[in-house]
Structure 1
Amino acid sequence: MTSKAVENQIKDVINKYLKSIDEAENIYLAEEIWSDSNEVSFIHPRGHERGWKEVKQNFYFGTMRDLLSKRKLELVNDISIQAYGDVAIAEFYWEFNATFKTDGEPLTTKGRETQVLHKTEDRGWVIVHVHYSNMPVTGEREGF
């Protein structure tokens, strides 16, 4: 059972995460909530980053900042949180709206995400792993 205080702390981290995507140019937002460890990882449809340096360079800069001029990541449901001591797992669904820098074309995607967080003594809860994917496909011969 997750205490309300822990749940609120983790929700605060996730809200900062959403803002860090929206404002990818300001990497300091992301640095507040991510572990700076070489062991962090981020699995997403465009790649698999290992270590904070790769997450920063390849996802925040290479994808979010450099390819998109506007970004808005929003939750579409409540966050599910399970905490186990100094480790927590959060799950949620999202909608992402953005604009491509090259031609101004809009982009809308929907997906789901799992985050693993670790509570540190000096920084509180930080993200150590993210895995996100598009919404499930359930048509015949899809999703294999």
Structure 2
Amino acid sequence: MAVRICEHCGESNKEHQRLCLACGHSLKDVPLVGTPDSEKYEALDRNARERRLCSNCSEELEEGALKCKYCGAPVVKASSPTYVPMAEDTTLLWPKVLVVAATVIIPLVGLIVGGIRAFSQDKDEQLTGGVLVAVGLVMLGIHYFLKSMLGY
């Protein structure tokens, strides 16, 4: 992170500042200290991959530095990647169980009960049975649609 250091009060200001934030003095002719942001994000060459950069301001760190000389952030040493075994993900199992219960088990029970009631002598039970059979068939259709869309 490049800064402009005020010649009047010595305060560090961001590179785009034109007036000092502390005293209001003009920073028009004050040179930048550090690497401007526009230069930081250019394509990395082979040597840039070997350089260590500050995790806070992305300035290049000096060899053996314990803190960044530009922002003062402590240098965090990169640790070697360690293998952590992935835990089995069971958080996504319960929605599938609910979908199966709602679109397979409940409609099958509805089809069985509705089929029995549809052949009853009472007209109200026949109507109820027909509705249960129709709802069961619709729910099974939804199940197969979701199965083809979600692929479970």
TM-score by length of 2: 0.22
Name the structure, 1 or 2, with higher relative contact order (CA <8 Å, separation 6+).
Answer: 1
Query: Normalized per residue, which structure has more strand?
Result: 1
Query: Normalized per residue, which structure has more helix?
Result: 2
